[in-house]
């Protein structure tokens, strides 16, 4: 059974208004979920939220720049180090063996382990 007025395709349902989450609420949410995110993801999400807020007019260009500036100094170096450590500890290295009896085969090296074939 179809709803009256829609069965013959004459009526188009009204568009729902787009609901935007305020920038400050996004930041609060990011702070709450941050312990479960990898450092690279935290930075990417924060930058995305900042860019959206700038585009939507929630923050000014000066505020956007002011929020980014710490990442070009000591804080940026710490974040980069955290990302490098996280990548080293959480991702495997892989590639082709270039010499020896296993030449041409793929290898996977996990942190703290030898080479697996």
How would you write the chain as a 3-class SS string?
Answer: CCCCCCCCCCCCCCCCCCCCCCHHHHHHHHHHHHHHCCHHHHHHHHHHHHHHHHHCCCCCHHHHHHHHHHHHCHHHHHHHHHHHHHHHHHCCEEEECCCCCCCCCEEEECCCCCEEC
Q: How many CA atoms lie within 13 A of 29 on its CB side?
A: 9
Lowest mean pLDDT among 43-47, 77-81, 91-95: 91-95
Q: Tens of pLDDT along 2-24? A: 556 566 666 676 777 778 889 99
The per-residue pLDDT of the chain, averaged, comes to 83
pTM of the model: 0.64
> What does each C-alpha distance from 77 to 4, 31, 84, 89, 111 come to in angstroms?
62, 20, 11, 18, 23
Residue 114 — pLDDT band, cuts 50, 70, 90?
Answer: very low
Dig out the tokens for 78 from the structure.
């710490």
């Amino acid at each position: 059974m179809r709803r009256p007025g829609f069965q013959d395709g004459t009526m188009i349902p009204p568009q729902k208004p787009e609901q935007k989450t305020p920038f400050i609420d996004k930041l609060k949410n990011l702070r709450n979920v941050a312990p479960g995110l990898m450092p690279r993801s935290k930075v990417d999400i924060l930058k995305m939220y900042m860019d959206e807020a700038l585009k939507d007019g929630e923050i000014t260009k000066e505020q956007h720049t002011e929020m980014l500036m710490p990442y070009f100094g000591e804080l940026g170096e710490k974040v980069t180090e955290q990302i490098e450590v996280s990548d080293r500890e959480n991702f495997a290295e892989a590639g082709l063996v270039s010499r020896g009896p296993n030449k041409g085969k793929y290898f996977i090296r996990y942190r703290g382990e030898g080479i697996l074939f």
